[in-house]
Structure 1
Amino acid sequence: MAHSNDLTLPPLALLPAVLAAARSGSFSAAATEMNVTHSVISRHVSQVEQWLGYDLFERYGRGVRPTPDGQRFLRDTQCAIDLLSQGAQPWRQRRGPDVIKVSLLPSYARIWLLALVPEIERDLDVRLELEISERLADFTDGQTDLAIRCGKGQWQGTRSTVLFSDQLIPLIAPSMLDGRDPSGLDAAQIATMPLLHDSDATGWRHWLDAHGVKFRQKPSDRRFEDYSVVLSAAEAGLGVALTRLPFARATIAKHDLVALPFAPVQSPLATHLVQPSYEQRPAVRDVADWLVKAASACK
Structure 2
Amino acid sequence: MARRYLPSTQGLAALEALARLQSVTAAAQELNLTQSAVSRQLQAIETQLGVELFVRRAKRVSLTTAGQRYAEEVRRALDLLSNAALRLQTNPEGGTLNLAILPTFGMRWLLPRLPRFGRAHPDVTVNMNTRLGQFDFTGTDMDAALSFGKGDWPQCHSLWLENEAVLPMAAPAFLRETPVIEPADLVSLPLLHIQTRPNAWKDWFAEHGVATQGLAGTRYDQFSTILQAARHGLGVALLPEYLAREEEAEGRLEVVLDAPSPSRGAYYLVWPEEKHNTPALQAFCAWLKEEVEGEDLLPR
TM-score (norm 2): 0.71
Check conservation: 1:152, 1:269, Cα contact below 8 A. yes
The one-letter amino acid of 2:192's match is L
* Pair 73,258 (structure 1): closer, same or farther in 2 beyond 3 Å: closer
Q: Counterpart of 2:264 in 1: which secondary structure?
A: coil
In the TM superposition, residue 246 of structure 1 has moved relative to its aligned partner by 4.2
TM-score (norm 1): 0.71
Q: Are 1:121 and 2:145 matched, yes or no?
A: no
Q: 1:44 to 1:161 in 2, by over 3 A?
A: farther
CA displacement, residues 164-216 of structure 1 (integer Å, 9 cap, x when unaligned): 2322221222222227875xx22211111111122253211211122232143
CA drift of 1:282 comes to 0.5
Q: 1:272 aligns to what?
A: 268
Alignment of 1:178 onto 2:182: no
Determine which of 46, 50, 53 is the counterpart of 2:50: 53
Q: Is the 8 A contact 1:203 1:267 kept in 2?
A: yes
- Give yes or no for contact 1:19–1:74 (8 Å, CA) kept in 2: no
Distance 2:11 2:134 in 1: 25
* Mapping of residues 1-299 of structure 1, within 5 Å: 8=4, 10-14=6-10, 16-17=12-13, 20=16, 36=31, 39=35, 43-56=40-53, 64=63, 66-67=65-66, 95-125=92-122, 126-134=124-132, 137=135, 139-152=137-150, 158-178=156-176, 185-199=181-195, 200-211=197-208, 212-218=210-216, 221-280=217-276, 281-298=278-295
After superposition, the CA RMSD in angstroms is 4.4
> Do the aligned partners of residues 265 and 129 (structure 1) sit closer, same or farther apart at CA in structure 2, a change above 3 Å counting?
same
Gaps of 5+ in 1: 1-5
Aligned in 2, Cα 1:132/1:234: closer, same or farther, shift over 3 Å?
Answer: same
Gap change, CA 1:154 and 1:56, over 3 Å in 2 = farther
Aligned length: 280
Which sections of structure 2, spanning at least 5 residues, go unmatched? none
1:288: Cα distance to partner? 3.2
Amino acid at match of 2:92: R
Q: Deviations over 1:72-95 (max 9, x none)?
A: 99879989x98xx99xxxx99x62
Contact between 2:15 and 2:42, CA under 8 Å: does it hold in 1?
Answer: no
Task: Indicate the SS of the match to 1:291.
Answer: helix
